[in-house]
Amino acid sequence: MTADRSGILLAIPVYNEAKYINSVIGQVADCARDILVIDDGSTDDTPKLLAQQNVEVIRHAKNRGYGRSIRDMIRWADFDGYDWLITMDCDEQHEPAEIPAFVEAIERDDVDVISGSRYMPLSKADHDPPADRQAINQDICKELKKWLDLEVTDAFCGFKAYRVASCRKLELDVDGYEFPLQFWVQAVSAGLKVREIPIRLIYNDPSRTFGGPLNDPKNRLESYLATMHLELSRCAEKLSLQRKD
């Protein structure tokens, strides 16, 4: 099965990914018909290499953040009339060969968000993840369960499929790596249905950093929790109504 259906857009956020861009897009092109790349202000050879590829490209004049790239993907998919958006990273930590599993889940047509998980029992691991990232992921999953009754095993995986029409209910405005916390709170408050599917856990470069204060694990966790609790406050009324229903 290949993701060649006209209703699906495959989108990739990139920032200084010259090392991987040709390989990843070459593999993705075997699995997807329509491909969008968001270049988030790359300063290496990424823009030049993208110009040689047969893909749509949106380029940010400066680095605006992971969350902004995902938001732009959702808007583009909606504007161009796609039914579903599949997102994946460009650092070879998401395998294009797993795209058909997302397409298969899309074809079941019974959820709004299909989220890859590197930590489900059926997930395979090539390497152990950095200890701080796994610990923070586990802590955030517990918080999502506590406050939202959301059962997920991987809060931060960027390999996802979004039902575009369902995303119209959301008012997303976070630009940075905290974006998933806002997304999960709003998804639950909007009544979106979520399913996880297992994907391979791959860490090619455990030394890769987030940049700035988020490089410190304590700061990163505090920032994630602050974003989540701010969004819980914003969505308190909707969440309360859901619980009553």
Spacing of C-alpha 32 from chain mean position? 17
Specify the pTM.
0.92
Tokens of 8: 């699906």
Model confidence at 245, pLDDT cuts 50, 70, 90, reads: low
Q: How confident is the model at residue 3, as a pLDDT?
A: 40
N- to C-terminal Cα separation, the chain:
39
Spans of all domains in the chain = 8-244
pLDDT at 123 over 60: yes
pLDDT computed for residue 243 by the predictor: 66
More confident residue, 125 or 192: 192
pLDDT-above-70 percentage for the chain: 91
Region 115-132 average pLDDT: 81
10-24: per-residue pLDDT in tens?
Answer: 999 999 999 999 999
Please give the pLDDT value at position 240. 79
**Homologous superfamily of domain range 8-244:** Spore Coat Polysaccharide Biosynthesis Protein SpsA; Chain A (3.90.550.10)
What would the two tokens of residue 152 be? 């997920």
**Pseudo-torsion of CA 128, 131, 133, 136, nearest 10°?**
130
The two structure tokens encoding residue 149? 């009754």
